[in-house]
Structure 1
Amino acid sequence: MSAGERDRDQLLSEAVNLREAGRREEAREQLVRLAARFPGDGEVAYQTAWVHDTLGLEAEAVPYYERALAGEALDGDDRRGALLGLGSTYRILGRYEEAVTTLEAAVDEFPADNGLKMFLAMALYNVGRTHDAMRLLLTQLVATSNDPEVEGYRPAIEEYAKDLDATI
Structure 2
Amino acid sequence: MRAEGDSSPGRDERLAEAVGLRERGEHERARSLLVRLAGEHPGDAEVAYQTAWAHDVLGLEAEAVPFYERSLAGPGLSPEDRRGALLGLGSTYRVLGRYAEAVETLRRGVEEFPQDGALRAFLAMALHNAGGHGEAMRLLLGLLAATSDDEGVRRYRRAIEFYAADLDATV
Question: Which bin holds the TM-score, normalised by the shorter protein?
Answer: over 0.9
Identical-residue share of aligned pairs (%): 64
Is 1:46 aligned to residue 49 of structure 2?
A: yes
3-state DSSP of counterpart to 1:5: coil
- After superposition, where does 1:85-164 map in structure 2 within 5 Å? 85-164=88-167
C-alpha distance in structure 2 between counterparts of 1:107 and 1:100, whole Å: 10
Bigger RCO (CA 8 Å, 6+ sep): 2
Structure 2 residue 76 is the aligned partner of structure 1 residue 73: yes
CA distance in 2, matches of 1:83, 1:45: 13
Distance 1:70 1:106 in 2: 14
Q: CA deviation at 1:98?
A: 0.1
The residue type equivalent to 2:137 in the other structure is M
Partner Cα distance (2:8, 2:87) in 1: 28
Q: By how many angstroms is 1:5 displaced?
A: 3.5
Q: CA separation in 2, counterparts of 1:40 and 1:57? A: 22
Match of 2:19 among 16, 40, 54: 16
Q: TM-score scaled to structure 2, two decimals? A: 0.95
* Of 3-12 and 33-42, the range deviating more from structure 2: 3-12
How far apart in 2 are the matches of 1:154 and 1:31? 46
Residues paired across the two proteins, number: 168
> What is the RMSD computed on CA atoms of the aligned residues?
1.5
**Cross-structure match for 1:58:** 61
SS at match of 2:10: helix
- Cα deviations by residue, 1:62-118 (Å, 9 ceiling, x for unpaired): 000000000111010000000000000000000000000000000000001111000
> Which consecutive residues of structure 1, in runs of 5 or more, have no partner in the other structure?
none
Structure 1-normalised TM-score? 0.96
Give the number of the structure whose residues are more often helix, by fraction: 1
CA distance in 1, matches of 2:141, 2:6: 52
> Where does structure 2 lack aligned partners over 5 or more consecutive residues?
none
1:25 and 2:28 correspond: yes
Q: Which moved more, 1:156-165 or 1:28-37?
A: 156-165
